[in-house]
Structure 1
């Protein structure tokens, strides 16, 4: 009976590469003082021996785990789920592992429990995805000695934050509709305890008021296609007429399009509809949906980079990094009154 193959250790790698074990350690830690020739010899030896570093032992020596914790709230929704994915990719590229814990509400108790769980995993820093309105003082109290970054937090807070400019995005999509001659425009809002929903509503109101138009035809739903369907039916029963609907996300836009179809109305011939998010299916709606694209990949990358900066230099100035959105024009908006624009 053959003896099991003994896993290679760092001294085996050093012997095969013809270097000291300290040099192997420097290569593993990506130290800049190692020449490319030596680095290649060590990496070749690692591959040949199928050497796997003992991360637990390493972390005990260095007190570093190369692990980032993520507290995710609202992860069943498209935006937060894409944020988590963007963070995972960016962390992997930066040489960090990610541990994710999900909570249902941004309450002090749930945030505290999530942070406690992550700290038990010895994470070096924490990223909090905070799409709901939250008492930000709670976060300051709960994370006094741990580097952290917030993602998707409200504008203007004095905490390290990376965010997408929801107000500007909503203004862009509303301006697109107004420039095509629409004066009576309804707004289908997400749940207003979400900071993104409030930002998008604010952007819609600002752009309407800029043209002296009434922004009061607003109805709140729950981000889902079903919610959009029910809300659009309610809008159709109101006495105020509208020629266009700005939906605060693509799923609600999809539900609204179905409600209009059931009522015998065509999009965009009778009612124009636009969305927000540019989910992968938006290009295949009937008609293809004009919407706003958010750069979740860049959001994740900036969030991770900002956290790593704070890991290396804890006294880094608090800052807010703001990412702009992109208008995606398709075929869901009709031109009225001779406006000189087209999708």
Structure 2
């Protein structure tokens, strides 16, 4: 039998026409690498199916090259997508991941998870904790590890990375205003969630910027079931549009309205948030706000690697979301000549 030798970092360097140190810097997410060089090295890594040996790296660098990830509410779309994106970015860079998940029905709080990961010898922590109560617990747990928190708001205690939730909400509501809507309600998420708070603030800000009084706001639980029940009982009155804080509630809302004989967008325009993979197949296809989770994962890894190497004062970075316009939003009925 012929056994193929596993490609080494030197093989990658030779094929890419760079030094092995350059390959190492690309794997570790260094910022001072030219984009063209980084792309060429990553292409060769992919073509050669190269995977860094964690044992060899640990012996050579006296570092574990392992990052701990704390995930609160892993069953929800946002935290789950963030985790997948971060794991993918870490894998490409040659880092191993240890994950500790916290769900509502589990007895292990997030601060216990931080201690457990620290005891496993991780070099840093990535915290995906969208709820305020989880971060309140974590603040009391001093691990001494470089920590990056996925959060759209700045925090004086940690490095923070996030999609700009408030900006996304402003863009969504502005889209409705530009189409003539002046009575826009908000179906918010749970107000213990940072993202839900920021989206609600973005809704208020966009209306205030255009001199429009806020419509009704109801706080939901992220589920399509809640959106459905809301759609069945919501007293529309003069409301011509609803900004839903996530796509699942928007889906339920459309269902609930349809059972009452109300059509979207003819009777009510709907805009969601997240751009779930299936939103283009909703009836009608949903206008929503897209979050770039791949970019979020890459940026989080870059910040963690930087923090491991020279941890300084907490920094904050955000990624701009994008409004994806589909068929669930149009001009209000009054503009088109009545319901």
For normalisation by structure 1, the TM-score amounts to: 0.78
Secondary structure of 1:280 counterpart = coil
Structure 2: tracts of 5 or more residues without a match: 12-19, 27-47
The 1:182–1:30 alpha-carbon spacing in structure 2 relative to 1, beyond 3 Å, is closer
Question: Where do residues 29-44 of structure 1 align in structure 2 (5 Å cutoff)?
Answer: 30=24
Alignment match of 2:248 (pick from 251, 256, 279): 251
Q: Which residue of 2 aligns with 1:320?
A: 316
Q: Is the 8 A contact 2:274 2:289 kept in 1?
A: yes
Q: Which residue in 2 is equivalent to 1:235?
A: 234
Determine the C-alpha separation between the residues in 2 that align with 1:51 and 1:179: 50
Residues 130 and 153 in structure 1, CA contact (< 8 A), matched pair in contact too: no
Paired residues of 2:164 and 2:321 also in contact (CA < 8 A): yes
Shift of 1:232: 2.1
Mapped contact 1:220–1:231 kept (Cα < 8 A): no
The correspondence of residues 113-152 of structure 1 with structure 2, limited to 5 A, is 113-134=112-133, 136=135, 138-152=137-151
Partners of 1:31 and 1:332 lie apart in 2 by 46
Q: 1:256 to 1:288 in 2, by over 3 A?
A: same
Rounded Cα–Cα distance in structure 2 between residues aligned with 1:136 and 1:31: 32
- After TM superposition, the structure 1 = structure 2 runs for residues 243-282 of structure 1, keeping only pairs within 5 Å, are 243-282=240-279
Q: Does 1:302 align with 2:299?
A: yes
Counterpart contact for 2:68–2:98, Cα < 8 Å: yes
- Contact kept, 8 Å, 2:275 with 2:288, in 1: the verdict is yes
Is the Cα–Cα contact under 8 Å of residues 148 and 160 in structure 2 kept in the other structure? yes
Counterpart mapping for 1:331-342 below 5 A? 331-336=327-332
TM-score, normalised via structure 2 length: 0.79
Which residue number in structure 1 is paired with residue 284 of structure 2? 287
Cα RMSD for the two superposed structures: 3.3
Q: Deviation digits for residues 33-77 of structure 1, max 9, x if unmatched? A: xxxxxxxxxxxxxx9xx9995x45864674311111100011111
1:211 positional shift: 2.4
Question: Do the aligned partners of residues 146 and 329 (structure 1) sit closer, same or farther apart at CA in structure 2, a change above 3 Å counting?
Answer: same
SS in 2 for 1:310: helix
Question: Contact (CA 8 Å) 2:289, 2:321: kept in 1 or not?
Answer: yes
Query: Is the alpha carbon distance of 1:94 and 1:294 closer, same or farther for their aligned partners in structure 2, counting shifts above 3 Å?
Result: same
- Report the CA distance between 1:116 and its aligned residue: 1.9
Matches within 5 A, 1:26-105: 30=24, 55=54, 59=58, 62-104=61-103
Can you list the C-alpha shifts for 1:99-151, whole angstroms capped at 9, x where unaligned?
1110126x997122111221232111110012111475653442352111001
Q: 1:58 to 1:260 in 2, by over 3 A?
A: closer
SS in 1 for 2:144: coil
Q: Distance in 2 between matches of 1:120 and 1:288?
A: 47
Instruction: Evaluate the alpha carbon distance shift between residue 168 and residue 30 of structure 1 in structure 2; reply closer, same or farther with a 3 A threshold.
Output: closer
How far apart, in 2, do the equivalents of 1:244 and 1:112 lie? 41
CA spacing shift, 1:57–1:210, aligned 2, 3 Å: closer
Give yes or no for contact 1:219–1:235 (8 Å, CA) kept in 2.
no
Q: CA deviation at 1:153?
A: 5.2
1:92, distance to aligned residue in structure 2 (A): 1.1
| Larger Rg belongs to | 1
CA distance in 1, matches of 2:282, 2:121: 45
Question: Which residue does the alignment assign to 1:44?
Answer: none
Equivalent residue number for residue 43 of structure 1: none
Map of 2:200 onto structure 1: 201
The count of residues paired between Structure 1 and Structure 2 equals: 302
| Runs ≥4 residues deviating over 4 A | 50-53, 55-58, 135-138
Distance 1:62 1:330, change over 3 A: same
- After superposition, the Cα gap between the structure-2 partners of 1:109 and 1:285, relative to the gap in structure 1 and judged at 3 Å, is closer
Q: Distance in 1 between matches of 2:326 and 2:265?
A: 11
Choose 152-161 or 181-190, whichever is displaced more: 152-161
